[in-house]
Structure 1
Amino acid sequence: MTLTATKFTPEVMLSAPRRSAGIPNPSGKLALYTVSTYSFTNHKKTVQIKVLNIESGDSVLLVDEPGWSEPVWLSDEEVLYLKSRDNGCTTLVVRHVNSSAVELSYEAGSITAPISNVKVKKLSDGTVAFACSALTAPDGQLFNPETEKKPHSSAKVYTTLFVRHWDAWNSENYSSLFYGVLDHSHGKYSLRGNALTNALAGTRLSSPVPPFGGAGDFDLSESGLVFVAKDPELDLALYTKTDLYFTPLKSFAESKPPSPQLVKTPGLEGYSNSPVFSHCGKRVAFTRMRSRQYESDKPRLMLVPDIHSPDKTQEFYATSDGAGGWDSRPDSILWSRDDTTLYVTAESHARTLIFQLPSTPSKATSLPTPIETPEGNVSSFHLLGSAETGHLFVSSTSLIDNSCYSVANPSSNSCKVISSASKQGKSFGLSRASIDSITFRGAGGDYDVHALVVRPSSFNKADTKKKYPLCMLIHGGPQGAWQDSWSTRWNPAVFAEQGYVVVCPNPTGSTGYGMALEDGITGDWGGRPYNDLVRCYEWVVEHMPEVDGSRAVALGASYGGYMINWIQGHPLGRKFKALVCHDGVFSTLNQWCTEELFFPVHDFEGTLYDNRPAYEKWDPARFVGDWATPQLVVHSELDYRLPITEGLAAFNVLQARKVPSKLLVFPDENHVRRNMKYTLSLFFMSWLKMSGRICVGF
């Protein structure tokens, strides 16, 4: 599956096979994963299911047919996956890993609608609990858009907030959790009654939480289901609050589940995330934020000691002032086999690491420490094999490697790479020698700013006469960060291989450097973050002799696009030969055109009508009279977070002022986009080269 290239280009990046995170089987000998590949020859995408031999590192093809999804292990040698049908129905298919099996695959059930986010759990009676999510009609039944009667009018009528979200107009249909039982008889699994039960029917609750909620929003055990859902009593557009609920089940065959029980967390009213049952099924670990109007608040690691007493929860590293003693953002959670240890991912200085700590808050007396993992970012991790080993199967990426599988040993703090899709970058002509980082003093004077640096693979440190143009990438969020991880959206190596030295700063507002830096952007969008970027440019020009600061470009998306427009109207904008604004903000006074209104309410410290000066202060449109740098504007018509008019307004100003500019519009893409990566990558390159304002150094 390895693609080999002498030069890393947008085409190479997008045609390189992409592996999913690996999932080991119960014995820990095999790992299940998927591979998607795009061909520029026939302009088609193929997706396969493969199985990795963890000991040898070799893989075999398991499924190579259209329409499948969601593969999960049922046993050591059996995989269940979904098969989509033309009428919108879904078939459950079981496939044997052992090619000598009498029957390689068979159907285990059929559902009358599309389903997703499958989870299974082997139960003590030999059956398997099956859970998934699906769209639900107002009557609580499964919703199938293929069989739904089409209305005679396209009109939509709303009388409350939150009329659309991300890239779709909201409807009366909602996401819900369904469960059932897979019986095992005569060597085959079958879905009992060929039916699923809606766990949330009649509750006004919806899970997973859109637009990005998935299988991580719920978990199952012998005790029942835990899941997160928005508070139905609060306006979804104005509040982030999601609560954790527990639905006790005597059996996953129950046709009328009891009402979900609220897990109480006094003093914490923000997002709840990542609920995970302990192996004993009694305890649950999860994360919870404090503010109910701040989507990027610090998650607190939480424990429910007994899920049958959901009103009693405990916080890890709690402090009397409520700030919390661990200044990090815990995310994914994994229990050790004996339930005495928790493994938790968290960002730390442009990486996502795995930390370990006691599973009881009273025993967690010192801050958690990271275990050894490969260079880059951990994207997924699972227990491997028996309780005796204590090893973890880790999936990760880096700036040079799009997929790496490794085995980590927490007890010896060691790690062994099992398989790398790109041979740790060699297949792309990339290496760690191209990756660096810098640190400079921030504009506030009392903090440092960290930035990743990616140089061309042809860079020769000994050639002191060679000068490279600068490419500064500005991340979105704004509460986000550039990390040592792979991306097909904004891949720094793609720019570097065109002859740029790429600098990716993490200024005020960035995550992974403590909450003080992250929260510092609140009410200060164009203040400290902008001045941090000024400091970054000045530091690079002064301390990196290989960079030609007179040949520089800057690019940003979302908040990064806001910053590009802000830079346009300020002195830093004259330092760059060209700018690229991708789905950015033209005017902060338009922020109430967005869907999640809690975002501007928090970041601008109030509503538009209660605190208008805060919106006006950091409005890029105030300074359009100074716009002068050539600019590419990219926007998507299905971007409901920052509507298309933001891009059109910026382009109209540039054109009216006779500033060299170009507009690239994607009619069928959203704020993150799904299919525009190829065009976008090539267009960025062509704009920067053909604008005549920048001369790349290759």
Structure 2
Amino acid sequence: MITMRLISETLLEAPRRSNPIPNAAGTLAVYTQSTYSFRSQTEKKEIRVVNLSTGRSWCVTENPNARSPQWVSKSDQIIWLEWLESGNTDLMVDDAKGTITEIYKAGTVPGQAFDLKVTGQLPFREDNDNELAFAISGRANPDGSLVNPRQIAESTGHSTGRFYSTLPVRDECSYASELRNSIWYGYLRRGPEAGSRYSISGISNLMIFAGLEGLESPMSPLGGEESSREFEICPFAVVFITRDKEVNNATHTACSCYVQPVERWDQQNRDPIYPARRYRGLGGAISLVTVDKSDENRPIAFISQKRDGHTADKYRIMYIPLALFENVYEIFASADGNGLWDLSPCAISFGNNGTLLIQAEQNGRMMLYHLGLRDFERLRPAALSLVDPWGFGSITHVTPVRSDSSKILITQSSLVETPTWNIFNLAAPTESPKVLSASRPMDLGLSKAQVNSIWFDSSGNRRIHAWVIKPSKFDPQQRYPLAFFIHGGPHSAWNNQWSVQWNLALFAEHGFVIVAPNPAGSSGFGQAFKDSSQYSWGGLPYTDLERCFEYLQQKESLQYIDTARSVAVGIGYGGYMVNWIQGHELGRKFKALVTHDGIFSMTSQLASNRQHFINEIGGPIWETPGVGSGALVAFEIRLGEVLWEQVCMEWLGWSHRDRWRLMSIIRWMVVAMIHDFAVTENWVVFPIIPQVCDIERMKQGGEHWQWSPGTPLYLGVLPRHGAKSTDVKWFHYKNCFPGHTSNAYEDESENLIIDLGLSDKNVFFWWPDAQGNAPESSIHSQLVRFTIDPRSEDLQLGEPRVLQGDNSEFYRIDD
């Protein structure tokens, strides 16, 4: 085997596989695979089949528009969706073993379909594969028909303008639309003769059939693993989860699970014989539903949160022992309502003999448990059996190999191991898992020895976890720069599993030691720990990060980490935290700070996704005015207090009285533009352009910025370290236009020297003054030097020294 080095190209060119789906016999599994080539700049997409005994795999189709493969009931035939240029979708069929001479089309649905599901053993039908039911998801037009994206593009033309009068403006990764997701069902039939081919009936919108117009399911973006887990079908019903329409979904997470009986999959009657049964769960979000198709009673399980609007709440397992049964039971329920199990299951599925396979984050790993459901009303967490044959890494997916077998098909990975598929026998837990050769990990020269788990003390007698990842060619005699990674969320975690988006081993291979802490608010360490960041995004989490850095500095066994050469990297909430760190003492410990998708303004969040974050900050902005000083919530951080408080048009802060809350908007007398700034060893300088903003002018259709001839040039001077907002000094000069800064330093007399371009008139002709006067063509900008005594109480600036009188801009200092 050729060993490759882990670099960006090898990471991104590695095959990406979906989770495998075994056939009814447990001999084969179907999956999708995509592979990108940097050399050809192309992506190859396939539907493939793997033999679960030999590990050999082969391609069924390379059509890039093929997706969502499923087994045709108990057979070895595969059916999948194939998108057409017309915007419609074909249902294609082939034999996984290649016994059918050619792939054939079973029919076409009029629109773009996702998330195909197939079931057999229909009621009042013979128990064979000749008559089957299927369901798909998609976007619904106002009349309930399946959306054809080509027709939408033709009707909207080239306009991308959108107007919103209600929230949310965005939903996940796309702008919210009046079109809703929905589920359609249909019928597959073939003749009894050998070699007969399937054909489909028309499709029916389930929501219209059930009289449930206005509900949306799936709730997640279509075509992903999440949307596929939000509805299921069995021979006599469709089971789905949806947001409650009685509440505002922009600020609430309450969901219900519905079971809609379908007696005839080939009929489209408006009113079903049996109405849908609704299960409200515990009052909060519901994230997935699963049906035990091997049990004739078709038991149903789903996971539900209890607190509406609290996305950080733990999930609990809900069990319906008989489909359409009136009662739903909480597994591990307790008298106090907190639940007996402190972990939060993130995925569940039925195993053999009515057992549940449960995945949950735990101490920086994704763990797997299985649970027998006999006496389900009296179950305790002690009945859980841990499945951990590796003692390392994470189990990210599991499914039974066959409904009557104790063998399960596991997807396992770690921080240094690409995902592999393994067959493990629950009835023989001492046997090693069998890895399928089709998924063998790439040999990237990585090893488990690179990964260490550390725990350190923090405030309140809390123990905090972190991962340490070293380079593959680690030398304990050397010292390595530190890359300090802060995860998103805040209710997420760094787990010991492979990732393409944020691959910590990749950064380690570039010569860093990676430390990835799981501070307050992280998932997988109990509900109380997860809740501890509420109202305090910059409180306990910051303390934990600070203590982690101190631990790295002091721990003798970690002295190979050179904390004097360190960079902090934050993702999402971690990006927010990097901003927060910059305004605190910890920010002085890093040579560089990197923020990715970090929150910069909480008010702008109102125009983003669903507003579930308001429970994290104590309520809606307009209902929690608060008073007092605190950190600027333009990032909810002190960076704002240090640098921006007296410059930005409006800002929000936290109150420190009884708890962390948002405070009201404050307007500052100088609302103008910062086009550039300068930094010296001890000072930060902000030249303020006399372009002013006026809300009333904007309401009347005026420009955002307008040149103000009566406003002086301001140079804000602020201590670079440990400053408060009151420490800023606003030195001023006559009305003029400051260009880009060229240089800034402190001379021997501790005066502040700043060199920049200066023009006596407005340079931005696109923002004229109130009379519409644009700058003259003879406008002249020259390089000048201001000398400022930052300790002076006289804020009037003297005449600057002209360094370069020629008309010029965009200066640079030659090396």
Counterpart for residue 243 of structure 1: 256
CA RMSD of aligned residues (A): 2.4
Give the aligned residue type for 2:219. Answer: V
Counterpart for residue 607 of structure 1: 620
Give the C-alpha shift of residue 305 in structure 1: 2.4
1:506 aligns with 2:518: yes
Q: Is the CA contact 2:54–2:436 (under 8 Å) kept in the aligned structure 1?
A: no
Give 3-state SS (helix, strand or coil) of 1:200's partner.
helix
Q: Is the CA contact 2:366–2:395 (under 8 Å) kept in the aligned structure 1?
A: yes
- Rate the CA distance shift 1:415–1:131 in 2: closer, same or farther, 3 A: farther
Q: Is the CA contact 1:240–1:295 (under 8 Å) kept in the aligned structure 2?
A: yes
Counterpart for residue 219 of structure 1: 232
Q: Is the CA contact 1:372–1:408 (under 8 Å) kept in the aligned structure 2?
A: no
Counterpart for residue 579 of structure 1: 593
Give the C-alpha shift of residue 198 in structure 1: 0.7
1:364 to 356, 376, 379: 379
Give the C-alpha shift of residue 270 in structure 1: 0.5
Give the C-alpha shift of residue 80 in structure 1: 1.0
Counterpart for residue 36 of structure 2: 38
Moved segments of 4+, more than 6 Å: none
1:200 aligns with 2:207: yes
What CA deviation, in whole Å up to 9, does each residue of 1:437-465 have, x standing for no partner? 111112332x211111110000033xx2x
Give the aligned residue type for 1:458. Answer: K
Give the aligned residue type for 2:170. Answer: R
Give the C-alpha shift of residue 578 in structure 1: 0.5
- Rate the CA distance shift 1:217–1:654 in 2: closer, same or farther, 3 A: farther
Counterpart for residue 535 of structure 1: 547
1:277 aligns with 2:291: yes
Counterpart for residue 170 of structure 2: 164
1:557 aligns with 2:561: no
2:677 to 645, 656, 664: 656
Alignment of 1:262-411 (within 5 A): 262-265=278-281, 268-278=282-292, 279=294, 280-310=296-326, 312-339=327-354, 341-360=355-374, 361-367=376-382, 368-374=384-390, 375-385=392-402, 387=404, 389-411=405-427
Q: Is the CA contact 2:94–2:100 (under 8 Å) kept in the aligned structure 1?
A: no
Q: Is the CA contact 1:135–1:143 (under 8 Å) kept in the aligned structure 2?
A: yes
Alignment of 1:640-651 (within 5 A): none
- Rate the CA distance shift 1:363–1:512 in 2: closer, same or farther, 3 A: same
Relative to the length of structure 1, the TM-score reads 0.85
Give the aligned residue type for 2:464. Answer: V
Alignment of 1:110-125 (within 5 A): 110-124=108-122, 125=126
Give the aligned residue type for 1:220. Answer: I
Give the C-alpha shift of residue 359 in structure 1: 1.8
Give 3-state SS (helix, strand or coil) of 1:403's partner.
strand
What CA deviation, in whole Å up to 9, does each residue of 1:419-478 have, x standing for no partner? 3677445x1121111111111112332x211111110000033xx2x1000011100011
Counterpart for residue 429 of structure 1: 445
Give 3-state SS (helix, strand or coil) of 2:352's partner.
coil
| C-alpha distance in structure 1 between counterparts of 2:156 and 2:348, whole Å | 44
Give the aligned residue type for 1:134. Answer: G
Give the C-alpha shift of residue 655 in structure 1: 5.2
Q: Is the CA contact 1:478–1:509 (under 8 Å) kept in the aligned structure 2?
A: yes
Counterpart for residue 756 of structure 2: none
What CA deviation, in whole Å up to 9, does each residue of 1:554-610 have, x standing for no partner? 1011100000100010111111110100010123354333331122x1100111112
| C-alpha distance in structure 1 between counterparts of 2:679 and 2:297, whole Å | 66
Give the C-alpha shift of residue 349 in structure 1: 1.3
Return 5+ residue gaps in structure 1 as ranges: 629-651, 662-698
1:439 aligns with 2:443: no
Counterpart for residue 95 of structure 1: 94
| C-alpha distance in structure 1 between counterparts of 2:680 and 2:242, whole Å | 48
| C-alpha distance in structure 1 between counterparts of 2:38 and 2:567, whole Å | 29
Q: Is the CA contact 2:32–2:48 (under 8 Å) kept in the aligned structure 1?
A: yes
Q: Is the CA contact 2:632–2:640 (under 8 Å) kept in the aligned structure 1?
A: no
Give 3-state SS (helix, strand or coil) of 1:530's partner.
helix
1:525 aligns with 2:537: yes
Q: Is the CA contact 1:223–1:282 (under 8 Å) kept in the aligned structure 2?
A: no
| C-alpha distance in structure 1 between counterparts of 2:168 and 2:100, whole Å | 53
Q: Which has the higher contact order (CA 8 A, sep 6+)?
A: 1
Relative to the length of structure 2, the TM-score reads 0.73
1:132 aligns with 2:142: no
Give the aligned residue type for 2:349. Answer: L
Alignment of 1:67-82 (within 5 A): 67-74=65-72, 75-82=74-81
Give the aligned residue type for 1:62. Answer: V
What CA deviation, in whole Å up to 9, does each residue of 1:42-76 have, x standing for no partner? 21111112221222222222222321111111144
Give 3-state SS (helix, strand or coil) of 1:128's partner.
strand
| C-alpha distance in structure 2 between counterparts of 1:34 and 1:653, whole Å | 50
Q: Is the CA contact 1:402–1:421 (under 8 Å) kept in the aligned structure 2?
A: no
Give the aligned residue type for 1:43. Answer: Q
- Rate the CA distance shift 1:659–1:208 in 2: closer, same or farther, 3 A: farther
1:150 aligns with 2:155: yes
Give the C-alpha shift of residue 155 in structure 1: 4.5
Return 5+ residue gaps in structure 2 as ranges: 645-672, 685-815
Give the C-alpha shift of residue 401 in structure 1: 2.2
Q: Is the CA contact 1:588–1:616 (under 8 Å) kept in the aligned structure 2?
A: no
Give 3-state SS (helix, strand or coil) of 2:198's partner.
strand
| C-alpha distance in structure 1 between counterparts of 2:482 and 2:216, whole Å | 47
Q: Is the CA contact 2:57–2:438 (under 8 Å) kept in the aligned structure 1?
A: no
Give the C-alpha shift of residue 332 in structure 1: 1.9
| C-alpha distance in structure 2 between counterparts of 1:102 and 1:50, whole Å | 16
Give the C-alpha shift of residue 103 in structure 1: 2.2
Give 3-state SS (helix, strand or coil) of 2:545's partner.
helix
What CA deviation, in whole Å up to 9, does each residue of 1:370-419 have, x standing for no partner? 113443222221111361x3110112222122220001222222441323
- Rate the CA distance shift 1:528–1:205 in 2: closer, same or farther, 3 A: same
What CA deviation, in whole Å up to 9, does each residue of 1:244-294 have, x standing for no partner? 1110111322313635321144xx210113211223243211111111111
| C-alpha distance in structure 1 between counterparts of 2:105 and 2:297, whole Å | 30
- Rate the CA distance shift 1:55–1:653 in 2: closer, same or farther, 3 A: farther
Q: Is the CA contact 1:18–1:35 (under 8 Å) kept in the aligned structure 2?
A: yes
Q: Is the CA contact 2:46–2:62 (under 8 Å) kept in the aligned structure 1?
A: yes
- Rate the CA distance shift 1:196–1:654 in 2: closer, same or farther, 3 A: same
Q: Is the CA contact 2:56–2:438 (under 8 Å) kept in the aligned structure 1?
A: no
Give the C-alpha shift of residue 209 in structure 1: 0.4
| C-alpha distance in structure 1 between counterparts of 2:300 and 2:110, whole Å | 32
Counterpart for residue 633 of structure 1: none
